[in-house]
Amino acid sequence: MKVIQYSQEPETRFDNDMVKGVSGRVVIGKADGAPNFCMRVFELDSGGFTPRHRHDWEHEIFFHAGQGEVWQHGSWVPVKAGSVAFIPGNEEHQIRNAGDGRLTFVCLIPSGPPEL
């Protein structure tokens, strides 16, 4: 069993032409012996965004804090603390912070793909 504060896990920063102001942490994954899923926590700075991309695997997202938008089928869908999103495999998607503070969300993916 593992019980921690997510901020105890090492943070990886992403900041380039395709992604801006993003921090990611693997909070449960292969290193913990989790055979089926990986849980990551992402924080997007104000004005931050993930890359617009697609991949074979699904993921589930719980928005914990802040205000943001999810790119879905060619338009932006607003999200806020308490919102959830299911992104099927091979669906183009992107997340951006639409608020003044940090946007924090938990993202689950199946084991197998890169954890971060």
Q: What is the pLDDT of residue 7?
A: 96
Within 10 angstroms of residue 42's Cβ, the number of other Cβ atoms is 22
Q: What is the pLDDT of residue 47?
A: 97
Pairing of strands 84-87, 59-65: antiparallel
First to last CA, the chain: 22
Distance CA 103, CA 46 (A): 8
Please give the DSSP secondary-structure letter assigned to residue 93.
B
pTM above 0.75, yes or no: yes
Distance CA 52, CA 74 (A): 11
To the nearest whole number, what is the mean pLDDT of the chain? 97
In the numeric block, which tokens belong to residue 59? 């993921």
Give 62-78 pLDDT, tens digit per residue: 999 999 999 999 999 99
Within 10 angstroms of residue 106's Cβ, the number of other Cβ atoms is 16
Q: What is the pLDDT of residue 19?
A: 98
**With bands split at pLDDT 50, 70 and 90, how would you rate the model's confidence at 39?**
very high
Q: What is the pLDDT of residue 2?
A: 97
Q: Is the dihedral of CA 92, 21, 115, 86 positive or negative?
A: negative
Q: What is the pLDDT of residue 48?
A: 98
Give 5-36 pLDDT, tens digit per residue: 999 999 999 999 999 999 999 999 999 999 99
Q: Is the dihedral of CA 88, 32, 114, 94 positive or negative?
A: positive
What residue type is 24 in one-letter code? G
Mean pLDDT of 77-98: 98
